[in-house]
Chain A
Amino acid sequence: MDMSVLIALPVIIPLIIGALSLVALNNHGVQRILGVLGTAAVLVAAIVLIWQTWLNGIKVLEVGSWPAPFGIVLVSDLLGAIMVLLAAITGFATAVYSLKTVRKRFERFGYYPLLHLLLAGVNGAFLTGDIFNLYVWFEVLLVASFALLIQGGERAQMEGAIKYVTLNLLSSALFLTAIGLLYGLVGSLNMADIAVRLQQVEDPKMVTLVAMLFLIAFSIKAAAFPLFFWLPASYHTPQVAVSAVFAGLLTKVGVYALYRVFTLMFTGEVDFTHQILLWMAVFTMLTGVLGAASQYEVRRILSFHIISQIGYMMLGLALFTPLALIGGVFYIMHHIIVKANLFFVAGMMYRLGGSFELKQLGGLYKKHPGLALLFMIPAFSLAGVPPLSGFFAKFILIKAGVEAQAWWAVAIALFVGLFTLFSMIKIWNEAFWKKAPEPAIEVPAPYRNTALYWTTGLLAAMTVAIGIFAQPIYVLAETAAQQLLEPQRYIEAVLGGAK
């Protein structure tokens, strides 16, 4: 059997599992088991995939044996494989976490099938080598996320969902327009083929225009400045497991798409396009962290921090030096794990403390020292405290910024790091350190669940591990960045190397 099928597994497994859990609509036990087993299977597939990609270079699968550039190809380069692995880790953690936190009501409304559909969409987006297919996967994950977002039907959810849906549909429309223009320009949808043909286009202005359309479309999805406000309006409204998987993965699909098109396809006018990216990155970092400073609801603070972190990732792409791209990839790896983890912890804070509001929380350190530790690790990692993963991610980026002499960006990045620490200490002080406010909130039955502790603990351990084994992770990011900087390899793998 051809090993190239490996590339399809992260997409097809969630689809099949999702369909099966839809068949078992009324049997929640079966759905839960399928959820854990299915996401575990994807995790195994993702590990094998990244291992194979590491050993043998970029892998390509021509779906249905239709040859590139005519058929759809799935491509696994290191960036794609890394993203799939991160998605698989988040998916598995979410499935385990959901066992104890997702209410029966939501299970009845198809929580698990939607979760699998979402993961299939995310993995599809990371692996496809076809720009229109990328659009399709975006839609798949958006449809699933719309439904997950409004499960429960509360007022705040609807309000958040309207902003989320409107802006994401706008983004999809722009994305589609951009694809149409690009197709008119080069007559191809295969990304590698587009990259080749773009070099022969005689109208660089038109190319830049299309690039800008892609930039706007993807930056809306990534919640970058200025069109980010759908994110803080919606991410805190659904149940925590959903928030966590959104926070970990969805905006990163937008970031991934930016990385893909602005390293593979639109590298002709770097001075212009990446300069805009740089400014967007700076403002994204700044607005996110300032927005968080004025919030007192745990999930909202975390949501604003997603935005500021997106800025760092864009910074890596914008500087467009080898070191900056390494930093960007490293940052994505660190961020997905940490962010999902923080939302999981927020969910446990709610379970144990009875609220998401900092004013109502308190005394958690005394009552639940284990939880306090589990909060501290990802929180300090997010803020960039050594020796945790966030420190190395920020360090690489800032070093790259210094090398590129982007002083403003460096200054802002450092300032934002400081403010992130301030935000995390705010949560720590209010929720964990200060005395529980009187009268105490009624917490429904003393709650202790090993599954939740295990999930968050495992993710926290990964954060620490990324810090401790920063060198091998750096090498991985370096190799991924090299592949990004030499799009020729990707193009050859898709167009030349395929049988």
Chain B
Amino acid sequence: MSRQFNMRSLILSTGTTIILPLLLLFSLFLLLRGHNEPGGGFIGGLVAAAAIALKLFADDYPSAKALLRVHPLQLVGIGLALAALSSLPSLLVGDNFFTAQWWTLPLPIFGDLKLSTPLIFDIGVFLGVIGTVLTVIFTLVEAEH
């Protein structure tokens, strides 16, 4: 791995600048698609983590870390908190604990947007997976240095 850090490939680096945003977009697409079709927070999170890992291989560790902004473990924390908190809105309307809540948000052009607590939960999973995978990868990189 350290060899790649020394010998940066120009092709990979340039390619990454183009692919990275696409991958991140795709991960969001997977996350949202998971609502009714195959996809979801877990697979979306894996793709997003892979995108950042790609940045790590193409450029270097600091730039990949900068891309994330927070410590990956904090991302896990945020994700878990979101997932856990998504159980609470059901209580406000008097349903059983963890009952899925659905809200429809009418938008002018796109039509109705359906929002729900499962979506919040899924976003939590999404962040949690990114955080977990990157914690593993970053720890390995740090051990290498």
Does B95 sit within 8 A of A, measured CB to CB? Answer: yes
Could you tell me if B95 and A23 are in contact, using CB atoms closer than 8 angstroms? no
**Which A residues between 1 and 15 are near B, CB-CB below 8 angstroms?**
1-2, 4-5, 7-8, 12, 15
Could you tell me if A19 and B81 are in contact, using CB atoms closer than 8 angstroms? yes
- Best-surrounded residue of A21, A61, A63 (most CB of chain B within 10 A): A63
**Distance of A8 Cα from B78 Cα, bound (Å):** 21
The residue on B at minimum CB distance from A20 is B81
B residues near A21, Cβ cutoff 8 Å: 77
Tell me the minimal C-beta distance from B124 to chain A in angstroms: 9
**Distance of A5 Cα from B91 Cα, bound (Å):** 8
Count residues of chain B with CB under 8 A from any CB of chain A.
Answer: 23
**Distance of A2 Cα from B96 Cα, bound (Å):** 7
Could you tell me if B97 and A23 are in contact, using CB atoms closer than 8 angstroms? no
In the complex, the number of residue pairs spanning A and B with C-beta atoms less than 8 Å apart equals 67
Does A25 sit within 8 A of B, measured CB to CB? Answer: yes
**Which B residues between 50 and 103 are near A, CB-CB below 8 angstroms?**
71, 73-74, 76-81, 83-85, 87-88, 90-91, 94-100
Count residues of chain A with CB under 8 A from any CB of chain B.
Answer: 25
Could you tell me if A19 and B97 are in contact, using CB atoms closer than 8 angstroms? no
**Distance of A224 Cα from B19 Cα, bound (Å):** 56
Tell me the minimal C-beta distance from A484 to chain B in angstroms: 26
Does A327 sit within 8 A of B, measured CB to CB? Answer: no
Please pick, from B71, B73, B76, B94, the residue contacting A1 in the complex, using a CB distance under 8 A: B94
Could you tell me if A5 and B74 are in contact, using CB atoms closer than 8 angstroms? no
Does A446 sit within 8 A of B, measured CB to CB? Answer: no
**Distance of A21 Cα from B78 Cα, bound (Å):** 10
Does A65 sit within 8 A of B, measured CB to CB? Answer: yes
- Best-surrounded residue of A15, A22, A26 (most CB of chain B within 10 A): A22
Q: Contact flags (1/0) for A97-125 with B, using CB distance below 8 Å?
A: 00000000000001001000000000000
Tell me the minimal C-beta distance from B94 to chain A in angstroms: 6
Does A362 sit within 8 A of B, measured CB to CB? Answer: no
Does A376 sit within 8 A of B, measured CB to CB? Answer: no
The residue on A at minimum CB distance from B93 is A1
Does A62 sit within 8 A of B, measured CB to CB? Answer: yes
Does A18 sit within 8 A of B, measured CB to CB? Answer: yes
Could you tell me if A63 and B98 are in contact, using CB atoms closer than 8 angstroms? yes
The residue on A at minimum CB distance from B118 is A64
**Distance of A12 Cα from B77 Cα, bound (Å):** 14
Tell me the minimal C-beta distance from A168 to chain B in angstroms: 21
**Distance of A15 Cα from B79 Cα, bound (Å):** 11
Does A212 sit within 8 A of B, measured CB to CB? Answer: no
Residues of A within 8 A of B (CB): 1-2, 4-5, 7-8, 12, 15-16, 18-26, 61-65, 110, 113
Residues of B within 8 A of A (CB): 71, 73-74, 76-81, 83-85, 87-88, 90-91, 94-100
7 shortest A-B CB distances, which residue pairs?
Answer: A22-B77, A19-B80, A19-B81, A23-B77, A65-B99, A64-B98, A65-B96
